[in-house]
């Protein structure tokens, strides 16, 4: 028996093209039954991202339901079957695909991706991982390929936030009609500045932990060195400033430097300038973001016959390879795997409950005390400056 198809687009005012396309979508489902997004895209001549947006709106109106691999029509006179009874249906997460885009596949982000993959497997979901670059001007082409070619059900991404196209990319992400979670980034959208869901490390807290550790050893001049172009550097700097004020230190009498990328020809000169400033200001300890900068700085110390931690204590920030260096570096460790796991959980919760409030998850880092920090050396007492034991 032929069933009446509910009219699309009654929940809110829409343009005639959207109303017509969504009506065609409902008619296609009535004719062919459950369909895949790719099949609907071909049948209606619309991009997959547009079809997904239509499905999200129709699902919100109670006209369609998302099923494994596609979408099915809901009609008012269809009584629920036993399989459709509350609590008896298939797992809404089973087989879902998450797209993941990170700016590097060889530093920091691999552990984040591993955490995401672990959490996805536990939920019978899968992750499609892609790498971008800190130098890219526009993440949207990569993201569009994930959305349109991979037919993903959600995105977990760390986009460039300082590129000229960033604002347009964020607006586009907000209109996709499925969950988007930012990694180590935050953003707002719309005139009311509604927050996008995100998972971030409390980098300011991590920096403050390092400063407190160094002051507990007796250091009164704790400087900061950060890498240029790192999205986390401003948070590390904020934590350093807050903690130095809390500990009664004056940040204006010590070192606060930004060093260029390792590929820059002026890198060595910048590191030498940092060590010169340490001598000039009497700075005895440095928080260095990130591991490569900390390691390069220790190596410059060796070339200048400065002892670490005897004459200069150093705390690295990231702990990607700090423990492998000699001496093993005291380091702040961001919760990389936990970041990835939490992001997948946010997407899963959004898929299960589309109307839940936006969540912003902040996870604390940890401090690993090793051999590169010790009490400052006292003039005339060569025995001071021995490594502190790990807590």
Kindly state whether residues 165 and 223 are assigned to the same domain: no
Q: Which residues, listed in sequence order, are joined to residue 97 by a DSSP beta bridge?
A: 126
232 and 155 in a common domain: no
- Give the Cα-Cα-Cα angle 187, 362, 135 (nearest 5 degrees): 50
Confidence check: pLDDT of 124 > 90? no
pLDDT exceeds cutoff 60 at 320: yes
Position with higher pLDDT, 30 vs 335: 335
Is 323 in the same domain as 349? no
Kindly state whether residues 107 and 256 are assigned to the same domain.
no
Assess whether pLDDT exceeds 80 at residue 293. yes
Residue 197 lies in a domain: yes
Residue 133 lies in domain: 97-202+337-366
Residue 36 lies in a domain: yes
CA separation for the pair 331, 215 (Å, rounded): 15
The 10s digit of each residue's pLDDT in 200-243 is 999 999 999 999 999 999 999 999 999 998 889 999 999 999 99
The pLDDT assigned to 2 comes to 45
In a domain, 44, yes or no: yes
Mean pLDDT of the chain: 87
Per-residue pLDDT at 149: 84
DSSP 196-208: PEEEEE-HHHHHH
pLDDT of residue 76: 61
* Alpha carbons 149 and 284: distance in angstroms, whole number: 54
CB atoms under 10 Å from CB of 118, counted, come to 14
Q: Which of 35-39, 171-175, 219-223 has the lowest mean pLDDT?
A: 35-39
What does the pLDDT read at residue 365?
Answer: 98
Kindly report the CATH number assigned to the domain that includes residue 247.
Answer: 3.40.50.2300
Give the pLDDT confidence score for residue 388 in this predicted structure: 41
What are the tens digits of pLDDT across the range 342-354?
A: 999 999 999 989 8
Under 8 Å between Cβ of 116 and 126: no
The pLDDT of 106-111, averaged and rounded, is 93
Asked whether residue 388 is domain-assigned, the answer is no
pLDDT exceeds 70 at position 88: no
Total count of domains within the chain: 3
Same domain, 181 and 208: no
Whether residue 386 is contained in a domain is answered as no
Q: Is residue 91 part of a domain?
A: no
Q: Phi and psi dihedrals of 3, rounded to 5? A: -110, 145
The CATH number of the domain where 73 resides is what? Answer: 1.10.10.10
In a domain, 371, yes or no: no
Taking the complete model, does pTM exceed 0.85, yes or no? no
In this structure, are 172 and 230 located in the same domain?
Answer: no
Do the beta carbons of residue 368 and residue 331 sit within 8 Å?
A: yes
Position 380 in a domain: no
């Amino acid at each position: 028996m032929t069933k009446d198809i509910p009219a699309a687009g009654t929940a809110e005012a829409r343009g005639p093209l959207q109303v017509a396309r969504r009506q065609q979508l409902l008619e296609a489902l009535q004719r062919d039954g459950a369909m895949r997004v790719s099949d609907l895209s071909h049948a209606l001549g619309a991009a997959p991202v547009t079809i997904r947006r239509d499905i999200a709106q129709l699902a919100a109106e109670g006209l369609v339901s998302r099923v494994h691999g596609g979408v099915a029509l809901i009609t008012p006179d269809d009584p629920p079957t036993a399989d459709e009874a509350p609590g008896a249906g298939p797992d809404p997460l089973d087989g879902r695909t998450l797209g993941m885009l990170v700016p590097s596949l060889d530093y920091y982000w691999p552990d984040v991706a591993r955490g995401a993959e672990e959490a996805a497997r536990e939920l019978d979901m899968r992750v499609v991982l892609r790498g971008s670059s800190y130098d890219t001007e526009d993440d949207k082409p990569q993201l569009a390929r994930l959305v349109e070619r991979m037919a993903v059900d959600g995105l977990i991404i760390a986009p460039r936030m300082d590129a000229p196209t960033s604002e347009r990319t964020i607006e586009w992400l907000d209109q996709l009609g499925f969950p988007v979670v930012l990694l180590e980034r935050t953003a707002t959208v719309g005139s009311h500045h509604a927050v996008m869901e995100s998972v971030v490390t409390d980098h300011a807290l991590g920096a403050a932990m390092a400063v407190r550790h160094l002051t507990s050893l007796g250091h009164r001049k704790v400087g900061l060195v950060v890498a240029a172009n790192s999205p986390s550097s401003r948070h590390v700097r904020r934590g350093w400033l807050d903690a130095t004020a809390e500990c009664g230190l004056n940040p204006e009498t010590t070192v606060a430097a930004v060093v260029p990328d390792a590929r820059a020809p002026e890198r060595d000169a910048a590191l030498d300038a940092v060590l010169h400033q340490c001598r000039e200001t009497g700075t005895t300890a440095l928080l260095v973001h990130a591991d490569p900068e900390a390691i390069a700085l220790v190596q410059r110390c060796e070339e200048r016959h400065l002892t670490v931690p005897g004459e200069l204590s150093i705390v690295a920030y990231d702990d990607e390879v700090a423990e492998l260096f000699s001496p093993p570096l005291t380091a702040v460790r961001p919760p990389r795997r936990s970041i990835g796991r939490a992001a997948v959980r946010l997407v899963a919760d959004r898929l299960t409950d589309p109307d839940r409030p936006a969540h912003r998850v902040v996870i604390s880092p940890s401090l690993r005390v090793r051999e590169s920090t010790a009490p400052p050396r006292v003039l005339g007492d060569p025995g001071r400056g021995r490594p502190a034991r790990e807590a």
